[in-house]
Structure 1
């Protein structure tokens, strides 16, 4: 993505919290746009995308989640669409796009029940991409901001493991 550094974006979000452009819109990395044929009903369209994700048809799921977001910009399940898109990219093995979408999820839904999980999975993406420093930051934020979440203990464990690894 020319002109955009996903790692810098999440690092900024982690440090200062969700970013607002002042108009209610959030600042996030651009999405790849694809179109797929969807039912006219938003719930049926969501279920079609979710079914593709559950069937591990990740490329189709990505297309369907993106099409949902484009066709229904005020979808009543936008949070679930965003989560599904991140999970689909992760399943597909597109770590950079998964990271971008987990970051977007945290930015847009930082108080949602899955926010800590989004940060944890973003931390895992950073590790895969070789950015241990930002992975540590992700895990630190989880343990401080969400100390009682199911992911806090996992984050503390992973942080401890990363800190005990020899520097390269």
Structure 2
């Protein structure tokens, strides 16, 4: 257990291990966030992603402060989001720190940002704001463009990739 003391209250929180075990039970989609630095694309897998608002169309993505992508997003005006299809786990592993030679993709452009070919959904976002919270930065992006293809999403549940059963 962890204890948090602030001016108004003292609370005991669950441990990081308990938190990880609890949230592993939350099924999430898998996204890859990407930016251009000069002519080079940089990307990372992000499961902490969600829609935020319809007016204006906005998303949020959370990135660890020590991650290289955090500094790149803070320095970028725009970024891409690729929501992966169920046959694209290799991209998630590649940009989640487990690269293989077969998984290194050629990015394509959507507007002014790199995105993954064949992704279920591709978004071009303009960074609206960044908020520091704990060990992460919450990036809010206004969606400027989208491209959608047919297919099923790649999902992540209990520490492994899953497919939807319809």
- Give the alignment's TM-score, normalised by structure 2: 0.29
Which has the larger helix fraction? Answer: 1
Higher relative contact order structure (alpha carbons within 8 Å, sequence separation ≥ 6): 2
